[in-house]
């Protein structure tokens, strides 16, 4: 069996032994734009990239630092290489959680966020959970938390063309980091 995947940019990527130089924003944006949130359990296709863009926009609207904005954009980037598991399954698979954390930390490091503070990580997590609430409300008519979290921006949860979302993801990344 192969120990690697072939990415969109034709990189042989070893998810269990990743090489930081093999991490490409083009691969992340492309893969996340084609992956659905909530394991597909929503009214229509809504991508992880759309979620990440909404998180970025929420962070920006809240006046968070550009580091937190970039962290919000990239917080699910590991999923582009190893996919995702639903929360109830993930919390019972410690080896997966370790693999995901190692890869996500490497992705953050690759893009200058290897030293995110606990406060910055908490801001990213809070924004992620806020968007999770509003996504489930809009896409499932279901409130996953008893208390509605505060949000600052207005977010669209409509179906978006994945290739358009991919371009928006790259554009947001470039606004925050400069052209690569």
For residue 113, the SS3 value is coil
37 sits in the region (left: phi over 0; alpha: psi -120 to 50; else beta) called beta
For residue 145, the SS3 value is coil
- The domain spans of the chain are 22-177
35 contacts 84 by C-beta, under 8 angstroms: yes
The distance in angstroms from the start CA to the end CA of the chain is: 34
Gap between the Cα atoms of 46 and 44, Å rounded: 6
99 contacts 82 by C-beta, under 8 angstroms: yes
Gap between the Cα atoms of 115 and 37, Å rounded: 27
Question: pTM of the full predicted structure?
Answer: 0.96
Q: Which residues contact 154 (CB under 8 A, 6 or more apart)?
A: none
Domain 22-177 sits in CATH at 1.10.3210.10
pLDDT of residue 180: 52
pLDDT of residue 178: 87
Question: One digit per residue, pLDDT tens: the chain, 180 residues?
Answer: 589 999 999 999 999 999 999 999 999 999 999 999 999 999 999 999 999 999 999 999 999 999 999 999 999 999 999 999 988 999 999 999 999 999 999 999 999 999 999 999 999 999 999 999 999 999 999 999 999 999 999 999 999 999 999 999 999 999 999 865
Torsion 85-86-90-93 (CA) sign: negative
pLDDT of residue 1: 58
Gap between the Cα atoms of 71 and 135, Å rounded: 19
């Amino acid at each position: 069996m192969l120990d690697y995947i072939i990415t969109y940019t034709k990189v042989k990527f070893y998810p269990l032994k990743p090489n930081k130089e093999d991490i490409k924003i083009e691969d992340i944006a492309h893969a996340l734009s084609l992956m659905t949130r909530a394991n597909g359990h929503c009214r229509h296709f809504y991508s992880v990239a759309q979620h990440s863009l909404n998180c970025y926009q929420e962070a920006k609207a809240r006046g968070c630092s550009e580091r937190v904005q970039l962290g919000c954009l990239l917080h699910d980037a590991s999923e582009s290489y190893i996919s995702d598991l639903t929360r109830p399954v993930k919390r019972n698979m410690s080896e997966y959680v370790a693999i995901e954390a190692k890869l996500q930390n490497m992705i953050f490091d690759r893009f200058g966020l290897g030293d995110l503070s606990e406060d910055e990580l908490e801001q990213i997590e809070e924004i992620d959970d806020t968007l999770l609430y509003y996504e489930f409300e809009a896409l499932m008519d279901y409130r996953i938390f008893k208390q509605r979290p505060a949000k600052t921006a207005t977010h669209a949860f409509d179906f978006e063309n994945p290739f358009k979302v991919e371009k928006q993801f790259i554009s947001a990344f470039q606004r925050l980091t400069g052209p690569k």
